[in-house]
Amino acid sequence: MSHAASVHSLWTLAADPPREIPAPHIEYAQLAPTLIVLGGAVLGILVEAFLPRRARYHAQLLLSVVGLAAAFAAVVALAAGGHAGEKARIAAMGAVAVDGPALFLQGTILLVSLIAVFTFAERRLDPAAHGNRVDSFAAQGSAVPGGEAEQAAVKAGFTTTEVFPLALFAVGGMLVFPAANDLLTLFVALEVFSLPLYVLCALARRQRLLSQESAVKYFLLGAFSSAFLLFGVALLYGYAGTVTYSGIAEVVSGTTRTVDPALASTMGNDALLLIGGALVLMGLLFKVGAVPFHMWTPDVYQGAPTPVTGFMAAATKIAGFGALLRLLYVVLPGMRWDWRPVMWGVAIVTMLLGAIVAVTQTDVKRLLAYSSIAHAGFILAGVIAASPDGVSSVLFYLAAYSFVTLGAFSVVTLVRDAGGEATHLSKWAGLGRRSPLVAAVFAVFLLAFAGIPLTSGFAGKFAVFKAAAQGGAGTLVIVGVLSSAIAAFFYIRVIVLMFFSEPKADGPTVAVPSALTSTAIAVGVAVTVVLGVAPQYFLDLAGQAGTFVR
């Protein structure tokens, strides 16, 4: 490489007549779900710009619900049309894969976001300010907390209806993320769903300092991790000379045709592959909240507005694990012996640390955050299985887990005192005596987190651990069961606290929600019970969707 002749001759052929650039061929029908959601988001921006303020809330809510439902219908139509099976293809000039796992995860993300939008729109929980019903979001995000501008905005009855298009943009990015079939699309999708989430985190109506702090932390750490991911992409590009998944996989497995001798010096350089692969994995593990990249999770989950936390906890995890599965199973299957030991370690540490640290938590949202870290570890156990069963069990676990999470955070929005949500655990003491229904619903979600039989959590954990055991990860399953037992301790502790201790005199009140949050919680309970009692249909569905297209 030190001699000039090794530099490729592409740069010296300017005398040639320029070749015509072929127009890219885009399969609009197969990309319909993403396009519908992003189109809805753009329309939402126009609504913000041109509609009078009082009409915006209803217009935005309608637009988001219709957009997400239409996108879900498009996913179902694609799956019914065979795109999940024999007609699975790579669309958009190799940028996006339309196959079983992608469609399954996109459908789950869309359903979860549809329900999350209901919780975004809830306006019954906070007491009306100056006669205007308000939601969980700041009257004006840019106003200084407690300042005159904020008081004026509250008095005028402003609400941040921008949250709906922001959520739609985030959903659009999440739909592309698990389907991305080259590393550039992966990076762009990551940023498209992260940037709106950073903003959403900063928009809480109550405890705005906490909310802004969580946004800063999430933003700085998120940008840091995506810079690592991008450097990993650069190194993998240097390794393979291409960023498409199939191209890199070919070079990894050594089946590629011999190319220009100028490439021989970098192509197939294992240092580039190992470091690049590790950096990309790091970026993805950050997004799913696996130890040692979990530091942001508790702070962000606690500080962000609770509906946003629920949305983020459920949907980001689905998208992140989808991308992780595709990367490990499509790009790096040839390196399985290198990445499996590393992921073993990450999974074990994630399960144990998430479960153990959760025991010491005193805040419900932080507790659920550490529980989500532990669950990331359980899902990683399925990822490590490196078998079709592993893929389908992870798909099923993600679907089951996301509805439980969303439901649990929706319940957290209901328990309130004068300062907003009462998230300290001591305030939840005796909740079961004061409002048995809410406490019982929360208990169902906690039991599902713990993996008690007849809940979706059990079916999911069973599927994941079975796949891991068959994949030769017996030790991992033992650690997983142990940490499940530790985790069950603190879930049960909350249930005992709610039902078997005396309510405090100055305890929180349970707000009566409108149909929106009630629907979200009811759907959460229904999915938890149905997936727990009769999981077979959905396991089969995930099993049929378990093949990646290359």
Task: Compute the least distance from the CB of residue 7 to other proteins, in Å.
Answer: 7
| Three-class HEC string of 318-379 | HHHHHHHHHHHHHHCHHHHHHHHHHHHHHHHHHHHHHHHHHHCCCEHHHHHHHHHHHHHHHH
- Cα 539 from Cα 452, distance rounded (Å): 18
CB 176 within 8 A of CB 192: yes
CB 524 within 8 A of CB 313: no
- Cα 37 from Cα 396, distance rounded (Å): 24
Q: Residues with Cβ < 8 Å from 398, sequence gap 6 or more?
A: 105, 108, 317, 318, 321, 322, 379
Among 142, 151, 253, 509, binds other proteins (CB under 8 A): 142
Does residue 145 touch other proteins according to CB under 8 A? yes
What is the distance in angstroms between the CA of the first residue and the CA of the last residue of the chain? Answer: 33
Window of 104-112, 190-198, 512-520, 530-538 that interacts with other proteins by CB under 8 A: 190-198
Tokens found for residue 475: 């030790």
Q: Could you give the angle at the alpha carbon of 411 between the alpha carbons of 138 and 382, nearest 5°?
A: 105
* Nearer to other proteins (CB atom), residue 100 or residue 303: 303
Task: Compute the least distance from the CB of residue 181 to other proteins, in Å.
Answer: 14
Residues in 273-312 that interact with other proteins by CB under 8 A: 298-299, 302-303
Among 62, 223, 482, 534, binds other proteins (CB under 8 A): 223
- Phi and psi (nearest 5°) for 537? -60, -45
Q: Count of residues for the chain?
A: 550
Task: Compute the least distance from the CB of residue 141 to other proteins, in Å.
Answer: 7
Q: What is the size of the binding site for other proteins (CB under 8 A)?
A: 57
- Cα 197 from Cα 300, distance rounded (Å): 11
* Nearer to other proteins (CB atom), residue 1 or residue 23: 1
Residues in 243-272 that interact with other proteins by CB under 8 A: 243, 260, 262-263, 265-267
* Nearer to other proteins (CB atom), residue 331 or residue 383: 331
Does residue 133 touch other proteins according to CB under 8 A? no
Among 97, 112, 153, 195, binds other proteins (CB under 8 A): 195
Does residue 9 touch other proteins according to CB under 8 A? yes
Query: DSSP assignment of 432-473, as one string?
Result: HHH-HHHHHHHHHHHHHHHT-TTSHHHHHHHHHHHHHHHTT-
Window of 19-27, 116-124, 210-218, 386-394 that interacts with other proteins by CB under 8 A: 210-218
Identify the DSSP state of 98. Answer: E
Does residue 158 touch other proteins according to CB under 8 A? no
Among 53, 130, 224, 345, binds other proteins (CB under 8 A): 224
Window of 8-16, 309-317, 390-398, 455-463 that interacts with other proteins by CB under 8 A: 8-16
Residues in 444-463 that interact with other proteins by CB under 8 A: none
Task: Compute the least distance from the CB of residue 365 to other proteins, in Å.
Answer: 10
One-letter amino acid at 236 equals: L
Among 230, 348, 404, 425, binds other proteins (CB under 8 A): 230
Closest CA to 92 of 28, 188, 38: 28
Q: Give me the residues that bind other proteins (CB under 8 A), please.
A: 1-2, 7-11, 141-142, 144-145, 184, 187-188, 191, 195, 198-199, 202, 208-210, 212-217, 219-220, 223-224, 227-228, 230-231, 233-235, 237-238, 241-243, 260, 262-263, 265-267, 298-299, 302-303, 360-361, 366
